[in-house]
């Protein structure tokens, strides 16, 4: 049976409430603090590593559309592509410059961050996107195969995370740090064992950095693409085809048809849209997360 009281009865039951003095001099008992100060009236800057093509290029262009000035990074061999991306960004009315650096080299990453601050202003956002892949049977891996994979995909991410964090801490205004993981950070693929292991490490580093950087108002997250139509996946498709006898393009089609719930191969812009969110103020209460963008292969 429902029990109801008239509103007047409820009010009369606690008459003293009407005469409680309002606290005007006391400080509030809690204060909402955001991970970042508002950047609406500040110059927003970002470094995007490995951004001469593919997902990195899409991220650089999207952040430029969002109002960021961009340091477009890649290795020296890819500088023509980086310069093209810079031109596209400047055509949007944003500032950008290319910077050649190998992320596996800590000193080069430190010099890149210094150059970005000098050219664009205080660093707000670091996107550690650069990475490599290799298709090879687990028992055929050489020590150098394993070493190089971790030098770029793990040491490279650590170099970017740590150097950006130190810069942001010195600035005292917080920031956003992002890293490139992968769906293989959740479920490894055969013949991609050391690549998978490196991306699991990115997830771990992201969580650890998130714990230690929170006190500095720096959020640290990662994004995990699936099967994307980029040069990296073209290579994976070709090499996997050699082991199975499949024609070029057939492996990606097979994976798309059998694995992806949404039934299409991803494009770089699918990933850059999520990165845009992770870089923006709407994700200020997110940290330590690895967000999957794969069309429905891995369900978390």
Q: Is 195 a catalytic residue?
A: yes
d(CA 82, CA 57): 8
Rounded to the nearest 10 degrees, what angle do helices 193-213 and 156-171 cross at?
A: 20
Angle at alpha carbon of residue 216, lines to 215 and 220, rounded to 5°: 90
Residue 41 Cα distances to 66, 245, 250, angstroms: 14, 56, 49
Burial 56-94 (b: 16+ CB within 10 A, else e): bbbbbbbbbebebbbbbbbbeebeebbeebbeebeeeeb
> Which of 132, 86, 114 minimizes the C-alpha distance to 239?
132
**CA-to-CA distance for 75 and 112, rounded, in angstroms?**
12
Alpha carbons 236 and 251: distance in angstroms, whole number: 9
Q: Which of 68, 161, 195, 255 is catalytic?
A: 195
Q: What is the DSSP letter of 288?
A: S
Give the position of tokens 């809690």. 30
- Annotated catalytic sites, by residue? 195
């Amino acid at each position: 049976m429902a029990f109801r009281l008239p509103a007047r009865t409820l009010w009369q039951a606690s008459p003293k409430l009407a005469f409680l003095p309002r606290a005007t001099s006391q400080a509030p008992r809690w204060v909402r603090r955001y991970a970042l100060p508002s950047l609406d009236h500040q110059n927003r800057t970002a470094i995007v590593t490995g951004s001469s093509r593919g997902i990195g290029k899409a991220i650089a262009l999207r952040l430029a559309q969002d109002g960021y000035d961009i340091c477009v990074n890649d290795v020296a061999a890819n500088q023509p592509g980086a310069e093209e991306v810079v031109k596209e960004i400047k055509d949007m009315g944003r500032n950008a410059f290319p910077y050649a650096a190998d992320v596996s080299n800590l000193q080069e990453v430190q010099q890149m961050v210094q150059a970005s601050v000098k050219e664009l202003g205080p660093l707000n956002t670091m996107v550690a996107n650069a990475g490599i892949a290799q298709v090879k049977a687990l028992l055929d891996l050489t020590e150098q195969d394993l070493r190089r994979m971790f030098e770029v995909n793990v040491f490279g991410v650590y170099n970017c995370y740590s150097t950006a964090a130190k810069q942001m801490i010195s600035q005292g205004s917080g920031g956003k740090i992002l890293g490139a993981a992968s769906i293989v950070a959740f479920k490894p693929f055969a013949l991609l064992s050391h690549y998978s292991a490196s991306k699991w490490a990115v997830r771990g580093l992201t969580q650890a950095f998130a714990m230690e950087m929170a006190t500095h108002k720096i959020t640290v997250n990662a994004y995990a693409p699936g099967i994307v139509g980029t040069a990296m996946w073209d290579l994976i498709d070709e090499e996997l085809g050699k082991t199975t006898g499949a024609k070029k393009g057939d492996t990606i089609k097979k994976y798309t048809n059998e694995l992806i719930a949404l039934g299409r191969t991803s494009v770089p812009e699918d990933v850059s849209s999520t990165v845009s969110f992770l870089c923006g103020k709407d994700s200020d209460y997110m940290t330590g997360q690895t967000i999957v963008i794969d069309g429905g292969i891995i369900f978390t």
